[in-house]
């Protein structure tokens, strides 16, 4: 696995449409970039979490920051539908990005297969990794 495959980077526009999906996201979630670019991230979120995600995303855009972009803050274990149809959670952070004028341009999500020791803080979501492989499966 290359260094780019170890970190998934997903870039969403202000409407939560996927605008960037790197090799790491392909490796972690199994979806080819060509299959997800231009689609709403909501399509990859389990139905039970869609309202929470939609409301949280809108709040982050309105406030200009996420709760997950400060180093001492919690990491997300956001459940996403992988290419094999399973919903899995991987640790990650999201940050609001601004253009040169200061306007909100996008939200970046960065996810890894495992939690680095300096990222280990309480999650916003309950975590259950029964087999210890880092894949946290949503029932």
Sketch out the chain's domains with CATH numbers: 3-137 (3.30.450.20)
**CA distances to 43, 63, 64 from 104, in Å:** 23, 10, 7
Digit-coded pLDDT (tens) for 30-62: 999 999 999 999 999 988 888 988 998 898 888
CA 94/CA 25 separation, integer angstroms: 14
Q: What is the pLDDT of residues 64-122, one digit of tens each?
A: 887 665 556 667 777 888 999 888 888 888 888 888 998 889 999 888 876 443 333 33
pTM exceeding 0.85: no
Q: For residues 136 and 91, give the distance between their C-alpha atoms in angstroms, rounded to a whole number.
A: 9
**pLDDT digits 0-9 by tens, 97-108:** 888 998 889 999
DSSP structure class, residue 66: -
Burial 28-50 (b: 16+ CB within 10 A, else e): bbbbeeeebeeeebeebbeeebe
Are 18 and 38 in contact by the 8 Å Cβ rule? The answer is yes
């Amino acid at each position: 696995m290359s260094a780019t495959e170890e970190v998934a980077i997903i870039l969403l526009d202000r409407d939560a449409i996927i605008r960037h999906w790197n090799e790491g996201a392909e490796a972690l979630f199994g979806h080819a970039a060509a299959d997800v670019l231009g689609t709403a991230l909501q399509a990859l979120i389990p139905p039970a979490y869609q309202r929470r995600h939609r409301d949280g995303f809108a709040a982050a855009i309105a406030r200009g920051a996420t709760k997950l972009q400060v180093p001492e803050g919690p990491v997300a274990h956001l459940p996403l539908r992988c290419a094999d149809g399973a919903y899995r959670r991987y640790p990650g952070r999201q940050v609001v990005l601004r253009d040169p004028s200061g306007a909100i341009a996008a939200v970046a999500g960065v996810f890894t297969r495992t939690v680095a020791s300096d990222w280990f803080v309480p999650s916003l979501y309950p975590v259950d990794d029964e087999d210890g492989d880092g894949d946290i499966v949503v029932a």
